[in-house]
Every structure is written in structure tokens, then in C-alpha cells.
Chain A
């Protein structure tokens, strides 16, 4: 794949045709709705609409589907901020500070900074996609199973370190998340594991049920028991101030870098990069104690990483035909439905198509911010709805969201169970984020570790002898070392007893 200004300009000419502009706008709108509504993530949203796009020319259809994809990536953060329902794992870090801001009457600034950060990261990510794709695609190829395992391991250690001085509780939370993900069937042999003789557990535990239970259900339980009248009594701020935006500029740029470069790697989804970006911001902040209590950078960083990763995912998709996420796999299906075979030949044989889609993404990003900033006030008002109405509605949407994963009541029961787990974790001061991340990446970790062991004929040294893997492992061990040092530095018992979430 090579960059050519002529191709890009030609792409803009195609994308700016009235018909393609219209489909991009419809895609952005539907995508935002898909993100906000529970139960239909980007993958199912695109899959549902795929057959309907057959009436469109291929370029218009893919422009629309790509718009649905990045629209949904933005929309998913709305429920995370306003009612603490992160519909996707990638929205979990956004919920941590976003929901706190909403409780303080600042849902408007949180939502607006989401839109701005998504726009900045999406646009910068597109610049990367446009100009550096060939080089970046080559870097992605050198990533093998050991590098993936090391990266996931580093992400886990980073997120545990977010637990501050309650490191042991962070480790326990992570271990419980790994256990949850291992329940069901072995991905390679299909053998039952950790089912304890219950046939229903063979279906495994979907991480969406875990996330919704831990966050939304436990939050409703806490609010109900405290007889909260509304999430926020009044909306104190509608839009972020210039000072807020200035404060978030660094976070937006850094999270774009983190999200984009990690997002180039197949298998590294926004659910990982958003946590890494959040952790990075907390680490370099001069006031890390504000994180988890409504820090606006804590909203800007994961949102930026989310969009940058989504954009970066198009590099391996277009260059090698490798989907980096389920929604990308559906997009790949869409490309193939139109007889387009992603890979190096796609750029040679169909440059007008590829560059039109890339150009449309620039336009789509502008459309998203224009579409969503005026809607901030509408979404923010949800926080002042009396809780006796909002509480049952949060439950209703949570049930819809989890039931629609596999259309099994079992998933809803799992959500309820994890609602109880989340409730007690809050009461006993256990951090929730490590459990969520571990649940999401456990299977990927196990698979890449298995493949690494196969490559090295059983020697774990492979994780330390390959340079990129060694760097990630080194950073992971540094993070662990820092945690242990904190345990030693402060009085040990206080460490274990500190409330963190």
C-alpha cells in the first residue's frame, strides 16, 4: 500500500458526492444509536444492516458501514457516563470518571469531551492511516504470539497497579476475572473446565454480562438502598470550559498514540488500549488522586484511545485482510460480499474504493462531532430523571443488553449474579477494573501463551528472548516491582484495607 495525494484527492471527490455524504451521515446517526441502545453492539449493528446495503453501490455501502462502526464507538460511551452502563468493555474506563462527573452534575462536559476527544483521536488516527499505513503494517507483522501474551500481561499488571495501595485486592480481582473467563469449554479441546458438574456452565460466561452486572446492577443496588432521588440533583455544567479542553489536550494526544499504535496489532481491541491509556494518564498526572473521582482527563483518554484503535484497525483489515475485532470481521464480510478481497492487492486493484472509504472517514468524523455536540444536553438530562423511574429503566436496558448477547435467560442470571459480586466488591473495597479487563483478555492470553509454548517447545524463555516481548515483560515486571515497593514502603496492613474504587 503506498500513499498518493492524487488517490486521496480522488477519494475525497468520491466521498464528497451527495449520495456518499448522505450514506455517511445516515451511518453516523445509526451508529450513534446502535452505540447508545443496549443489545446491539457495532458488530451486530453492521451485521443486521449488511443485507440492506446490497441495494447500494459497494463504495457507498462500505462508507455507510464504516460510519456505523465509528459512530457506535462514540455512542457506547453515552450510557457509560450517564447511567454507568458500559455496553462494551472499552467503555469501562470511561465510566469510571465519566459517571462520577455525571453524579456531580457534569454529564454535559463529560459527554462533550468524549465527542471532542473522539474527533481528535479519530482524525489523527486517520492521518496515520493515510500516510504511514505501509510502514505500520510491516510493524504489525512482526508481532507473534509471545509479543501478544507479553502485551496482555503488561496490560493486566498496569491495571492492577491502578488499585493503588490495595494491590492485593487488585490481584484478587484480576484472578477472579481470569477464573470467570475460563469457565466453560477449553477453546482447543472443547473439554469442560471449571463447570463443577453444572451443564449450563458449558456455555461459558460472556463478559458483557459480567460488565453490566458489576457496574450497572451493583450501582442500582447501592442507589436503591441509599434511597437516592436522582443520579445528579442538578446539572451544573452543560459544556466543558476552555480550561477543561486545555487540560485534556495532552491526554487526547497521548491516548491517540497509545490507541493507534497498539490498535494496529490484530487482536488488540479497544478494550485493552482504553485501559492502558487511562492508566498512562493516571500515572503521569500531577494529581492522580482525582482519577476515579471525576477527572475529565480520565474520560478524554479512554475515548481517544477507543477511536484511535478503531481507526488503526483498518490498517490490518485493508492491508492483510485481518480483522482486529468482531465488528471488523463483519466489515470484512461486507467487503467480500462485494467481491473485494482485502490485502495488498486491494490497493492496486481498487484504489478508488479504498481511498474513498478513507476520505469518507475524515468527513464522518466531522459529521459525528457536529451531530453529537448539540445532543449532549439531551443525554445529560437523563441524570436528573428521578431515580424511581431511572433505576427500573437501567435494569430494563441491562436485561435487554445481556439477553441479546445469545438470547439466553442464562446470561441475564449471570448478570444478576455479578451484580451481587459487584455490590460486595464495592462494600469491601475491591477494585472492579482488573476483574473486567482479565475477563475480556483471558482467552486471548491463554491462546497466545499456548502458541508461544508451541513455538518454543515448552520454554517460557521465549517471552524474554524476543526483543518486543522482552520490553513488554520488562515493563510488566517493573509495574509489579513498583507495586511491591509501595506495599513495603507503606504500612502493609493499611495497604490491604484501603478502599480504592
Chain B
């Protein structure tokens, strides 16, 4: 999908399916005692709106005959950098509980900066250490927020 038109057709079809799924899920909501506004009413209305607007978008775009704006997708290198950055973020979330916030923050910040600018590995380590320590002293030690501390600081 290099332009908006086919993207809108695809998104419209996707939304129509999503709308049907929401309508189905809304029909399965337990009603219980009778109320002036059924618990199914609002979800059903929203599902119907998504279904109708999805179909509308797909049809409108299908009928469109004019200059079709381009979508600015990343080049191959941009895609690679974005995907690896997202993987690093996912690892940060996964490792936060077992390693704790300070250590996982150190690893995430260091690796991300080093990945985005390999020549700045010194800056990466210093920034990682700084924000790892900040995350411990400000958010865990000082504000006593319930972030995972990890094995390094347990006990």
C-alpha cells in the first residue's frame, strides 16, 4: 500500500470486520437485572458505528478517482532501525520484573543509545548508569513507588 486510497479500502474492510466482532461480543454481555439502559446498548451502538463508518470509508475510497496522496513509509534501513528499537522496548518491558527497574533501565538506555549511535558507546554507558540510578533513588527510594527492584536491591 503505497498510497492512501488502497490503505483506506483495507482499513475500511478491517473496521467493518471489527464492527461485526464488537456487535457479536456486545450480544454476549450478561444483562442481569433489567435497567433503563441495557449494558449491551452502548457497546452495540459503538460496534454499529464502526461497522457503518468502516464500510463508508471503504466504499468512498473505492469510488475515489483523483490524485491519491502517497504514504511516507520508511526505507529498508528506517524499517530495520524502527523494528530493532521496538524489540529493545519489548525486552525492557519483559525484563523489568525479573531484573528490576534500575538494572533494566540501565540496559535499555545503554543498548538503545549505543544501537542508534554506535560511536557514542561512552555516552550510552554514562546515560544508562545515570538513569538507572535516578530510577532507583527518585522513584523507588524517595517516592517509594512500587516498581520492581530486582535481585540487585532486594532485601
Residues of A near any B CB (own CB < 8 A): 37, 39-40, 48, 168-169, 171-172, 175-176, 178-179, 182, 186, 188-189, 191-196, 220-221, 224-227, 386-389, 391-393, 395-396, 399-400, 403-404, 407, 409, 412-413, 416, 427-429, 446, 449-450, 453-454, 456-458, 491-497, 499
The answer on a CB contact under 8 Å between B81 and A48 is no
Q: Which residues of B contact A175 (CB under 8 A)?
A: 46, 49-50, 53
Contact A193 B43 (CB under 8 A): yes
Report yes or no: B123 in contact with A389, Cβ–Cβ below 8 A.
yes
A392-B109 Cα distance, complex, nearest whole Å: 6
Most chain B CB inside 10 Å of its own CB: which residue of A188, A412, A497: A497
Contact B96 A409 (CB under 8 A): yes
Q: What sequence of 0s and 1s flags, for each residue 122-155 of chain B, a beta carbon within 8 Å of any chain A beta carbon?
A: 0100010001000100110001111100000000
How distant is the Cα of A399 from the Cα of B143 in the complex, in angstroms? 17
User: Shortest beta-carbon distance, B41 to chain A, in Å?
Assistant: 8
> Does B39 contact A497, Cβ atoms closer than 8 Å?
no
Which residues on B sit within 8 Å (CB–CB) of A171? 49, 53
Q: Tell me if A186 and B85 are in contact (CB < 8 A).
A: no
- Shortest CB-to-CB span from A396 to chain B, Å, is 6
On whether the beta carbons of B116 and A172 are closer than 8 Å, the reply is no
Q: What is the minimal beta-carbon distance from A488 to any residue of chain B, in angstroms?
A: 13
Residue from A178, A193, A429, A446 within 8 A of B25 (CB atoms): A193
Taking CB atoms, residues of chain A closer than 8 Å to B68 are: 497
- Which A-chain residue is minimally distant from B131 (CB atoms)? A396
> How near does chain A come to B119, taking the closest CB pair, in angstroms?
10
| Known contacts A221-B85, A389-B123, A393-B131; A428 and B109 CB within 8 A of each other | no
8 smallest A-B Cβ distances: which pairs?
Answer: A493-B64, A392-B112, A225-B74, A453-B36, A388-B116, A225-B78, A388-B117, A450-B37
Inter-subunit contact A453/B93 (CB<8 Å): no
Indicate if the CB atoms of A395 and B89 lie closer than 8 Å: yes
Q: How many angstroms between the C-alpha atoms of A194 and B42 in the bound complex?
A: 11
Q: Across the interface, which residues of A come within 8 angstroms of B4, CB to CB? A: 428-429, 497, 499
Whether the pair B39, A189 counts as a contact (CB closer than 8 A) is yes
**Could you tell me if B54 and A172 are in contact, using CB atoms closer than 8 angstroms?**
yes
Residues 51-96 (chain B) with a chain A CB within 8 angstroms = 53-54, 56-57, 60-61, 63-66, 68-69, 71-74, 77-79, 81-82, 85-86, 89-90, 92-93, 96
With the chains together, A391 CA to B81 CA distance in Å?
Answer: 12
B64 close to A496 (CB less than 8 A): yes
B interface residues (Cβ-Cβ under 8 A, vs A): 4-5, 7-8, 11, 15, 21-22, 25-26, 29-30, 32, 35-37, 39, 42-43, 46-47, 49-50, 53-54, 56-57, 60-61, 63-66, 68-69, 71-74, 77-79, 81-82, 85-86, 89-90, 92-93, 96-97, 105, 108-109, 112-113, 116-117, 120, 123, 127, 131, 135, 138-139, 143-147
Given contacts A221-B85, A396-B109, 7 further A-B contacts (CB under 8 A): A388-B113, A391-B116, A393-B109, A428-B11, A450-B37, A493-B61, A497-B4
Q: For residue A391, which residues in chain B have a CB less than 8 angstroms away from its CB?
A: 85, 112, 116
Whether B105 contacts A396 by the Cβ 8 Å rule is yes
From B60, B78, B105, give the contact of A492 (CB < 8 A): B60
* With known contacts A40-B143, A496-B57, A395–B112 Cβ distance under 8 A: yes
Task: Answer whether A497 and B46 are a contact pair too, CB < 8 Å, given A193-B25, A403-B147, A453-B36.
Answer: no
Please report the C-alpha to C-alpha distance between residue A449 and residue B146 in the assembled complex, in whole angstroms. 37
> Which of A193, A416, A499 touches B90 (beta carbons < 8 Å)?
A416
A39-B139, A225-B79 known; A168 and B56 CB under 8 Å? yes
Nearest Cβ in chain A — how far from B2, in angstroms? Answer: 11
Can you give 21 A-B contacts (C-beta < 8 A)?
A: A39-B139, A168-B56, A168-B60, A179-B22, A179-B43, A191-B30, A192-B30, A193-B39, A193-B43, A195-B25, A221-B82, A225-B79, A388-B116, A396-B105, A396-B131, A399-B96, A412-B93, A416-B89, A453-B36, A493-B64, A496-B8
Residues of A within 8 A of B25 (CB): 193-196
Which residues on A sit within 8 Å (CB–CB) of B47?
179
Bound: A412/B36 CA distance, A: 36
Is A182 within 8 A of B42, CB to CB? yes
Contact partner, B30, options A189, A399, A429, Cβ 8 Å: A189
Give the Cβ gap from B147 to chain A, nearest Cβ, in Å: 7
Contact of B42 with A172 in the complex, beta carbons under 8 Å: no
Q: Across the interface, which residues of A come within 8 angstroms of B49, CB to CB?
A: 171, 175, 178
Contacts of A224 in B (CB 8 A): 78, 81-82, 85, 116
CA distance A138 to B89 in the complex (A): 51
Cα separation A392 to B146 with both chains bound (whole Å)? 22
Q: How far, in angstroms, from A40 to B146 measured CA to CA in the complex?
A: 12
- Which residues of chain A are near B86, meaning CB under 8 Å? 221, 416
Q: Give the distance in Å from the alpha carbon of A188 to the alpha carbon of B109 in the complex.
A: 43
Rounded to whole angstroms, the CA-CA distance of A86 and B60 in the bound complex is: 34
With A428-B71, A457-B36, A496-B60 known as contacts, the answer to whether A416 contacts B78 (CB < 8 A) is: no
Write the nearest CB–CB distance from B72 to chain A, whole angstroms.
Answer: 7
The answer to whether A493 and B66 touch across the interface, beta carbons within 8 angstroms, is: yes
Q: Are B147 and A407 in contact (CB under 8 A)?
A: yes
> In the complex, A449→B36 CA distance in Å?
9
Tell me the nearest residue of chain B to A220, going by C-beta.
B85
- Establish whether residues B74 and A428, one from each chain, have CB atoms under 8 Å apart when the complex forms: no
Contact A491 B66 (CB under 8 A): yes
The answer to whether B57 touches A169, judged by C-beta atoms less than 8 angstroms apart, is yes
Q: Which residues of B contact A427 (CB under 8 A)?
A: 7, 71-73
In the bound complex, what is the Cα–Cα distance between A404 and B138 (angstroms)? 13
Q: Which of A176, A196, A446, A499 contacts B50 (CB 8 A)?
A: A176
